[in-house]
Structure 1
Amino acid sequence: MSTPRHTLAQLCAAVTAAPVLLVAPAAVAAPQAPPPSTVIGGERLGLPGVQVDPLAGAPALPTDLTGESWIVSDATSGDVLASYNPHARLPPASTLKILFADTVLPKFDRNAVHRVADEEIQNIGAGSSLVGIKENLDYRVEDLWRGVFLSSGNDAVHVLSHMNGGIQPTVDEMQSKADALQARDTTVVSPDGYDRDGQLSSAYDLSLFARSGLRNADFRMYCATREAMFPGAVDKNTGQRSSFGIANTDRLLGKYPGLIGVKNGTTTNAGSTFVGAAERDGRTLLVTVMHPASYQRVYDETAELLDWGFASAGKVRPVGRLVEEKQAGGEQPSGQAGGTAGAPPPHPAGAPAGPVAGSAGDDGLGPVGWSAVLVGALVGAGAVVVLRRRTANRAGRLWK
Structure 2
Amino acid sequence: MPAPNKIISRSPMVTSATVLSALSALSMSSVLLTAPAALAAPVPSAAPPARMSTVGGARLGLPGTQVDLGDGAPVLPKDLSARSWIVADAESGAVLAAHNAHWRLPPASTLKMLFADTVLPKFPRTQTHKVTPADLADVGAGSSLVGIKEKETYTVHDLWLGVFLRSGNDAVHVLSAMNGGIKPTVDDMNAHAQELQALDTSVMSPDGYDAKGQVSSAYDLTLFARSGMQKKDFREYCSTVRASFPGETKKNKKGKTSRGSFEIQNTNRLLSGDYDVSVYQGIAGVKNGNTTHAGATFTGVAERDGRVLLVTVMNPEKKDHNEVYKETAKLFDWGFAALDKARPVGELVPPRSAAEAKSRPGANPSAGPADGGSSPAAEASASVRNGSTGVGIALGVAGGALVVLAAGVFLVNRRWPLPDLMRRRTRP
Q: In the alignment, which of 351, 355, 362 is matched to residue 325 of structure 1?
A: 351
Change (3 A) 1:111 1:250: same
**Among candidates 298, 301, 313, match of residue 324 of structure 2:** 298
Tell whether 2:264 aligns with 1:240: no
Could you tell me which runs of 5 or more consecutive residues in structure 2 were left unpaired when the two chains were aligned. Answer: 1-50, 273-278, 361-428
Q: Are 1:92 and 2:107 counterparts? A: yes
Letter paired with 1:163: M
Q: State the AA in 2 paired with 1:201.
A: S
Residue identity matched to 1:182? Q
Query: Aligned pair 1:269/2:293, yes or no?
Result: yes
Q: What CA RMSD, in Å, does the superposition of the two structures yield over aligned residues?
A: 1.6
1:188-218 Cα offsets, whole Å, 9 max, x none, are 0000000000100000000000000000000
Residue 16 (structure 2) aligns with: none
Ranked by relative contact order (alpha carbons within 8 Å, sequence separation 6 or more), the top structure is: 1
Q: Secondary structure at the match of 1:252?
A: helix
> In structure 2, how many angstroms separate the alpha carbons of the residues matched to 1:283 and 1:206?
20
Asked if 2 retains the 8 angstrom alpha-carbon contact of 1:326 and 1:333, the reply is no
Corresponding residue for residue 345 of structure 1: none
| Equivalent position to 2:359, from 334, 342, 349 | 334
Q: SS of the residue aligned with 1:331?
A: helix
Aligned residue number for residue 314 of structure 1 = 340
- The residue aligned with 2:400 is none
Q: How many residues align?
A: 299
**Residue 246 and residue 128 in structure 1: after superposition, are their counterparts in 2 closer, same or farther (change >3 A)?**
same
Q: Deviations over 1:254-291 (max 9, x none)?
A: 40010011000000111100001001111110000001
2:381 counterpart residue number: none
**Distance of 1:165 and 1:317 partners within structure 2:** 45
**CA apart distance, 1:37:** 9.5
Percent of paired sites with the same residue: 63
* Conservation of the 8 A alpha-carbon contact between 2:52 and 2:103: no
Residue 171 of structure 2 is aligned to residue 171 of structure 1:
no
- Aligned to 1:101, which of 78, 94, 116? 116
Question: Whole-Å Cα distance in 1 between the matches of residues 250 and 86 of structure 2?
Answer: 49
- In structure 2, C-alpha distance between the alignment counterparts of 1:45 and 1:327, rounded to whole Å: 22
Counterparts of 1:301 and 1:333 in 2: how far apart (Å)? 36
- Give the match for residue 166 of structure 2: 151
3-state SS, counterpart of residue 331 of structure 2: helix
State the AA in 1 paired with 2:265: A
State the AA in 1 paired with 2:295: G
Are the equivalent residues in 1 in contact too, given 2:53–2:60 (CA < 8 A)?
no
With over 3 angstroms needed to count, the CA separation of the structure-2 counterparts of 1:327 and 1:74, relative to structure 1, is same
Residue 38 of structure 1, CA deviation: 6.9
Letter in 2 for 1:171: V
Matches of 1:235 and 1:48 in 2, distance apart?
Answer: 56
Q: What letter corresponds to residue 93 of structure 1 in structure 2?
A: A
Give 1:163-312 correspondences, 5 Å limit: 163-237=178-252, 238-254=256-272, 255-293=279-317, 294=319, 296-312=322-338
Letter in 2 for 1:83: A
Q: How does 1:13-52 map to 2 (within 5 A)?
A: 39-52=54-67
Structure 1 residues 190 and 37, CA, compared in 2 at 3 Å: closer, same or farther?
A: closer
